[in-house]
Amino acid sequence: MRRWPYGLAAVLTGVLLSSQGRVNGQLGAQLQDGVLAALISTGFGWIVLIASVVLTPAGRRGAGRVVEALRKRELRWWQCLGGFVGAYMIFTQGVTITALGVAVFTVATVSGQLVSSLLVDRAGLGPAGPQPVTVWRLLGAAIAAGAVVLALQGQFDKPENVWLFVLPAIAGFGLAWQTAMNGQVREASGNAVVAAMVNFGVSMVLLVVATAVDLLIRGWPKDFPDEWWVYTGGAFGIFVIGISTVTVRAIGVLLLSLCVVAGQLIGAVLLDVFVPARDAHLTFTEVLGAVITLVAVAVAAVRTSERMTA
């Protein structure tokens, strides 16, 4: 099977993920509440997905297959919880991107994502089954770790930003597991839209609870943004989850993650150059860190692709 179209789709997913981060970050900054911003973004996407499933015969059949697979224990309940990672990821976007910039935020997620991809593929949690940990994969992860240190050089004069870096790194660590779980739901349902709906629904459970606590402590925002586009983060998320659940079966968790990372870095640098965040400024070390991370992606992805083709 030719895998390059799936890899190209995964790169596009990364670009969309960076764009989603900028949109959610802007909404969180204007509301001054990253939790509420995450709920708004996810809620919009979930409503669209529910309508798509309910109003289409294929969607209803897919939802029925998920229920049946859960009843027969062909799909475990914990395999439906990938949305918890998505909720945390959206929250970190709303809290950190305006301070760190999209490029540094992306390098942070990459650092966790590459490591967790190795572990998830080795454990065989994704629908493609177990994938061995090779020297080239380890080398790619090590190069990416060095890029993380380099990208952070420009942040050391702001200690609070270094601590903020940890939040998306943790989110990145969970992304590979989320992709594997969503892939399993897609296998059970036979429908990427159903898998995305389950993911968004689980995210909503966590975010509703978190937002209720947040509003009790902070109160309701005084004003909501007038710009329509800051509410569209959920639409990006629909495509991100949908494309990921389709491609993970063909190319595995690690190769999918690497291609997504490449797209994230390309999109992040372009956004920070042409649409810079209010409090973040792209530096030479951040760009160099992103380039080195792309090298790490290429090292691991090429060798992974060769092994899968053999």
Among all chains, which residue has been given the structure tokens 């690497």? 258
| Mean pLDDT, residues 62-73 taken together | 94
Give the pLDDT band (50/70/90) at residue 132: low
| Mean pLDDT, residues 102-117 taken together | 76
Q: Which residues contact 97 (CB under 8 A, 6 or more apart)?
A: 21, 22, 24, 25, 28, 105, 277, 280
Which one is predicted more confidently, 127 or 229? 229
- Residue 177's nearest CA partner among 235, 133, 115, 134 is 115
Tell me the backbone φ, ψ of residue 224, rounded to 5 degrees. Answer: -110, 145
Q: Give the chain's mean pLDDT.
A: 81
Residue 308 pLDDT exceeds 50: no
- Residue 18's nearest CA partner among 81, 110, 83 is 110
Q: For a pLDDT cut of 90, what percent of the chain falls above it? A: 20
Helical H segments across the chain, by residue range: 4-31, 34-54, 57-71, 83-100, 102-123, 135-151, 159-189, 192-218, 233-274, 284-309
Give the pLDDT band (50/70/90) at residue 273: confident
- Which DSSP letter does residue 79 get? G
Give the pLDDT band (50/70/90) at residue 66: very high
How many C-beta neighbours within 10 Å does residue 177 have? 21
| Mean pLDDT, residues 244-261 taken together | 76
| Mean pLDDT, residues 260-277 taken together | 77
What the block records as the tokens of 68 is: 């049946």
Q: Give the range among 44-48, 199-203, 277-281 with minimum mean pLDDT.
A: 277-281
CA distance 177 to 174: 5
Q: 3-state DSSP call for residue 16?
A: helix
Residue 280 pLDDT exceeds 80: no
Give the pLDDT band (50/70/90) at residue 278: low
| Mean pLDDT, residues 80-100 taken together | 84
Give the pLDDT band (50/70/90) at residue 152: low
* pLDDT attached to residue 212: 94
Residue 303 pLDDT exceeds 60: no
196 CB burial (10 A radius; 0-12, 13-18, 19+):
buried
Among all chains, which residue has been given the structure tokens 């983060």? 233
Give the pLDDT band (50/70/90) at residue 198: very high
Q: Tell me how far CA of residue 48 lies from CA of 35, 193, 225, 238, 239, in angstroms.
A: 20, 10, 21, 9, 12
